[in-house]
Amino acid sequence: MSDEVRPATRPEDATRAISPKITDPNLVVRSLSLWYGGSQALHDVSLVIPRNQITAFIGPSGCGKSTLLRCFNRLNDLISTVRIEGDILFEGHSIYDPAEDINALRKRIGMVFQKSNPFPKSIYENIAYGPKIQGVKKKQTLDAIVEKSLRGAALWDEVKDRLGESALSLSGGQQQRLCIARAIAVEPEVILLDEPCSALDPIATTKIEQLMTDLKEQYTLVIVTHNMQQASRISDHTAFLYMGQLIEYQETEKLFINPIMKQTEDYITGRFG
């Protein structure tokens, strides 16, 4: 907020963005670059994600924020043309270490997608799927996990009487909360959310936002959003990406009220994007 922090001349072509002071890092991105075949989608991005807080990535479409998010659980590996340089440290260990167990990593770093993607199974089976994959077999344990996860996603009261029904019979907002419940059922440490509310109406969005605020007590949350009000409402830190570059990373309040970079200001005031 103070004028001293803000440089007199805005560094339009700065290669290093400004970063906030983070005391308890959970994920550390170190000069990450990513190419889809010949085209570069991320340019030398470095940032630190704090534990038990909500970090939001904003930016115009195609700026690479979803790509960056999908680097954390290595979902980009599924695309054969992707090439990655740089590194991401999770709890101090490189997740791109060749010895890294990718399935174990994805269990620790859960994800909720832009479009709700329940499996074509019953509500119960959707939640129990992850624990079953991890080897949980006992019915009582599974029952307990299902209830706990659904309560955690504030969905229990709405579905407790119809756990056997198809998950696809739920409304859009319920499906998205089911996906959150499914993600927390495997007890991850981090939850990545890729525009989780973009297909939802305002009431469902409010519920999910409320839920995220509750969840950060236990989990580190990283959310990609198009909705700047949403980022400002719920996140603790916000990163602005543009054309694959991290332009500015700040405490949310600072970024929205007093952005340092001109591009950030232009974006959040609606001059482009």
The binding site for another protein (CB under 8 A) comprises 73, 75, 78, 80, 103-107, 110-111, 113, 115, 117-121, 129-130, 133-134, 166, 168-169, 179, 182-183, 186
CB of 212 to another protein, least distance (A): 17
CB of 8 to another protein, least distance (A): 45
Angstrom distance (rounded) from CA 5 to CA 11: 13
- Of the two residues 19 and 114, which places its CB atom closer to another protein in the complex? 114
Instruction: Bin 252: left if φ > 0, else alpha if -120 < ψ < 50, else beta.
Output: alpha
CB of 113 to another protein, least distance (A): 6
Residue 113 has what DSSP assignment?
-
Which residues lie across from 87 on neighbouring strands?
A: 30
Which residues lie across from 30 on neighbouring strands?
A: 87
- Of the two residues 36 and 119, which places its CB atom closer to another protein in the complex? 119
- Of the two residues 121 and 233, which places its CB atom closer to another protein in the complex? 121
- Of the two residues 130 and 152, which places its CB atom closer to another protein in the complex? 130
- Of the two residues 142 and 179, which places its CB atom closer to another protein in the complex? 179
Helices (H), 35-138: 65-72, 102-108, 123-133
CB of 180 to another protein, least distance (A): 12
Considering only CA atoms, which of 226, 227, 253 is closest in space to residue 238? 253
3-state secondary structure of 221: strand
CB of 176 to another protein, least distance (A): 12
Place of tokens 């570059």: 245
How many contiguous H segments (helices) and E segments (strands) does the chain have? Answer: 10, 10
- Of the two residues 122 and 264, which places its CB atom closer to another protein in the complex? 122
CB of 77 to another protein, least distance (A): 9
3-state secondary structure of 145: helix
